[in-house]
Amino acid sequence: MSTGLPHHQAIPVSPVATATSSVETRAAGPARPRRRRWTRFILPVYSWLVIAYLIFPIGVMILYSFNKVTAGLQQVSFAWNGFTLQWYKEWSNIPGLTSAFWLSVRLAIASTVFSTVIGTLLALALVRYQGRRFRGKTLIEQTMFLNIAAPEVVLGASLLGLFITINLARGFVTLLLAHVAFSIAYVAVTVRARMSGFDRSLEEAAADLGANSWVIFRKITFPLIMPGILAGALMAFALSIDDFVTSNFVSGSATPFPVWVYGATRIGIPPQVFVFGTAIFTVGILCAIASVIIGWRKPT
């Protein structure tokens, strides 16, 4: 419909419309940055406080492993008396401490090997087999989580009752059986979490190309789940080397490092305990770093 106006005649624009348009243009321009709220600092500060709470006792232990003690008193003193390397030079001078430490190391290594192998195979079975091929799967899963959730006092007392019932002398063997018993569940859960997103098509492709089960596991499955296996092994080692409650029940004549330290608190802790604690912490840090580096490496 024609408006009756010539095509060359411009339609007048009111000043109010012009002002409104300019205001809208300014409003549509770049917005001012919002002021950051102080609440954004809550989570970082909380995280660093938790880390400091966890690291502080370890830092104190490392610091006082270099502390001199009062002359004639071979016990830990929390009064700073000066820097010394004496306790690192005399690390084996306390009767019973060195043997207890090496017993804990051998126990931790042995229990880590057994629990890692058994836990990894258990995780593979829980992930691979379903339904009728694994009828006791639910029962095993519940038993694993009960093992993790059960207090150590209950586990130690029940194992002690078992060993007494079967007339098994308490010592290194009972310690090994106990440590493997409570470490398997942690390894299995860790490896199972690693396998949750595992791509089975890689194994199927290898099988189509003629690879047998052992070659498939060695070339494909094992490299892919290696980070989970290492994480489970580190957890088993840490649980074993610092376990006190269960070990105190089933140790018998064999005295591991945590049980020895507990007994020494009644008469005074020698500074060499801090030296061994520092060594254990250092080795644990190095193993954790190695595990992270291996986890970053992509399997070829």
Query: Is 156 inside a domain boundary?
Result: yes
The pLDDT, as a whole number, for residue 17 is: 52
The pLDDT, as a whole number, for residue 5 is: 47
Q: Which domain holds residue 140?
A: 95-269
| Predicted model pTM | 0.75
The pLDDT, as a whole number, for residue 175 is: 93
pLDDT tens digits, one per residue of 224-267? 888 888 889 988 998 998 889 999 999 888 889 899 888 888 77
Q: Which residues of 255-285 are buried (b: 16+ CB within 10 A; e: fewer)?
A: bbbbbbbeebeeeeebbbbbbbbbebeeeee
Query: Is 281 inside a domain boundary?
Result: no
| Residue 174 region by backbone torsions, left for phi larger than 0, else alpha for psi between -120 and 50, else beta | alpha
Query: Is 5 inside a domain boundary?
Result: no
Query: Is 183 inside a domain boundary?
Result: yes
| Distance of alpha carbon 160 from alpha carbon 142, whole angstroms | 23
| Residue 63 region by backbone torsions, left for phi larger than 0, else alpha for psi between -120 and 50, else beta | alpha
Q: Please give the backbone phi and psi of residue 250, each rounded to the nearest 5 degrees, phi first.
A: -110, 10
Tokens found for residue 94: 């306390």
pLDDT tens digits, one per residue of 172-215? 999 999 999 999 999 999 998 888 777 777 778 888 888 888 88
| Distance of alpha carbon 210 from alpha carbon 260, whole angstroms | 55
Query: Is 13 inside a domain boundary?
Result: no
Low-confidence ranges of the chain (pLDDT < 50): 1-5, 7-8, 13, 16, 23, 299-300
| Distance of alpha carbon 287 from alpha carbon 171, whole angstroms | 28
Query: Is 83 inside a domain boundary?
Result: no
Burial of 189 (0-12, 13-18, 19+ CB in 10 A): buried
- The number of folded domains in the chain is 1
Strand partners, 142: none
The pLDDT, as a whole number, for residue 72 is: 53
The pLDDT, as a whole number, for residue 1 is: 46
Residue carrying structure tokens 């008396």 = 81
Tokens found for residue 177: 């059986």
Q: Give 94's DSSP letter.
A: S
Query: Is 212 inside a domain boundary?
Result: yes
Q: What angle do CA 255, 229, 218 make, to 5 degrees?
A: 125
Query: Is 109 inside a domain boundary?
Result: yes
Strand partners, 67: 83
**CATH (domain of 245):** 1.10.3720.10
Residues in the chain, total? 300
